[in-house]
Structure 1
Amino acid sequence: GKMIKIAAMRIKCLEYMLNHAQQEIIYKKQLTNELWGERSQFISDANLTQILYLLRRDLKGFGLSQFFSTVPRTGIKVDANIIISNENKSCLPSSLKKEEYKYMALFFALLTMVIMVIYLIR
């Protein structure tokens, strides 16, 4: 299998996207508030742009480079062709071949475990 390291901030960003994917647009302010909390007022757009760039690069390794798109000067939009199941937090593009599903399922199972460990460490 393929292994990648994703920084905690990008995992938090991805988790927020998964939980809010049904929104037409996830606004920059929402993401900034989620990622930086009270410090968000001091965070520039460049910081968020960097997180999104790196997350997109991470997801590209799993064939999910189009998981979200940028809405200029507004925020992001999660691809409507992505199926997101709240039951097990899996996120599978409908265009994947059957043999790729097991790798995607494994990735998101591991991602969920990493997110849980991060929250337990806090």
Structure 2
Amino acid sequence: MQEQTVARDYRAMRRALGLNQSQFWSAVKVTQSGGSRYESGRKAPAQVDEMVRLRHELGIDITLITPENADVIRAILLKELDAKELLDLANRCRELMVNVGKVATDLVETSVGVNTMLTGKTACVEVQ
């Protein structure tokens, strides 16, 4: 199977971003000399082109892509998952956790009050 290649004007992209070759290419794990060859007309492998697209067009720090989140990122990029819906769900989950924490604090305070009424002794409980 032959490796797919892509032609893109990497030099123009790099210059538009105001980066030198080392800065541009090291961000996508390509050596400066390898990047120089791609800028001089050699076609980059599709994988390299995709890394350039993710990092320099979409602004995704590719060092944050892990085996654990790669499938989700891939599904979002392929439009199989709606990123806005995922973010909305994550925000609702955060709100729920904040409210659960508040309820837990209220329960601890109530239990301390009940304990004080029943025993006549004040308990020291630190709530975080």
Q: TM-score, normalised by structure 1?
A: 0.25
Larger RCO (CA within 8 A; separation ≥ 6): 1
More strand by share: 1
Q: Which has the larger radius of gyration?
A: 2
More helix by share: 2
